[in-house]
A and B are shown apart, each in its own frame.
Chain A
Amino acid sequence: MKYADEFRDPVAAKGVLAAIERVTQEIGATKEKPVHIMEVCGGHTHAIFRYGLDKLTPKGLEFIHGPGCPVCVLPMSRVDECVQIAEDPKVIFTTFGDAMRVPGTKKSLIQAKADGADIRMVYSPLDALELARRNPDREVVFFGLGFETTTPSTALSILQADADGLTNFTIFCNHITVPPPIKALLDDPHMILDGFVGPGHVSMVIGTEPYQFIARDYGKPIVVAGFEPLDLLQSVLMVLEQIRDGRAEVENQYSRIVPNEGNPVSIAACEKVYEPRPTFEWRGLGEIDASGLRIRDRYKAFDAEVKFNIGYGRNTSFTEEQEGCACGDVMTGRIKPHACPQFGKGCTPEMPLGALMVSSEGACAAYYQYGGLDLEPAE
């Protein structure tokens, strides 16, 4: 879909697109000197490509695709640890399907499963809990992965396991949080970002307050956005208007889902069960302060890191990226996905070399799936 006519509300879409064109000109942005807006969330990246929004918007506006795809930023060391836990014969290792194909240094979870490990894809940590109830003689481990959108689900599962007195259920907690990598990107001396389209469903949980530092300390606008194409276009327009007017504010385009205070039950459950780690490793971005969560001591009986003595900071080292993989440069907006020498050659969605090619929410996979043959040559 590359024509506004095909949107559900073409008149509104055309109106917003015209306004985007006008404000981009008013800012003075051009193809040579574009305004850079980062969509933080991988779901937004997917939607931008699916609806061809990058082709509908003016050349003076460039989307930079952010780190908001949890599978994409998962370091190979964490995958190696998953495989090691899963290969313990008493363990049933459960995970969301998204994590199965992420490459480790030796193998992915799908390869480990083929080699005989008892690895099961589950839709929800609730299903892992149920599996633990039905298999009291096995250790059921759930791979806790994702941003604030999925963090409450594992926190509440731990609280349930505690209430039920389960002793064979643990979470391998590798949850991460959205605000710290945004801060890390803003602190990067190569930073070229002019504003942000903020994540919708993460914000549904945490609210809009945690983004205030972006406007207050860094003077950059951020607009929390929904996933409809029109939501995204409106949010981009709101960011551009802030830039034009010299404002830097946290605005909420998605208020029909996102209350400014977030979801109090989720926030309380996460606060109860988790605490921030001093630092955490992100694939392509390196170590970022206070960007990962670990299970509090009170709930250590449900912590796979404690039970299996494995995990971030225990005995694994920082993993170097594969030779030729440019995920870090793509993630910080220094290069476009197709400018990576491995794009579509050594790295495809079927055989991903780098993290951004793994999930449909990753920038490289989105380029590969929707970019087609009309990609401009890499510059």
Chain B
Amino acid sequence: MCLGIPGQITEISDATRKLAMVDISGVKREVNVACIAGDDPLEDLIGTWTLIHVGFAMSKINEEEAVLTLEVLRELGEAQEEIEAMRASATMLADAS
């Protein structure tokens, strides 16, 4: 929960709500990008690597930092836990609709 996980922004899904799709170790997920958006157009964020905490992009990072962070998270067992939590949450929402 506190360590977050790196992901790469692939598209802007809802500009009004500042939501974007990210790729997190192969898992696609919608996240809020308000905290890293700044004043530039949201589209400029596409391709950016970011550190994601509970569905919110909190910091821009470079690719090397993303790779190293993922490695630490894997070693701590946190990467699997985060990805599993994302998958479970998506399944729950799919069942709820």
Contacts and interface: CB of A to CB of B under 8 A. Distances in A.
Interface of A: 8, 41-43, 46-47, 50-51, 68, 70, 96-98, 120-127, 130-131, 134-135, 146-147, 149-150, 152-153, 156, 160, 199, 201-202, 204-205, 227-229, 256-257, 263, 265-266, 269, 360-361
Given A125-B55, A204-B58, A50 B88 contact: no
B41 interface: no
A122 B92 contact: yes
B87 to A, nearest CB: 8
Interface in B33-88: 34-37, 51, 53-56, 58-59, 61, 65, 68-69, 71-72, 75-78, 82, 85-86, 88
B72 A201 contact: no
Contacts, number: 123
B35 A266 contact: yes
8 contacts: A43-B3, A50-B75, A70-B2, A122-B89, A126-B55, A152-B35, A201-B51, A361-B2
Nearest to B37: A265
A257 B61 contact: yes
Contact of A123 (B34, B59, B77, B88): B88
B97 A134 contact: yes
B35 A201 contact: no
A123 B3 contact: no
B92 A127 contact: yes
B7 interface: no
A297 B56 CA distance: 25
B88 A152 contact: no
Contact of A201 (B58, B68, B75, B89): B58
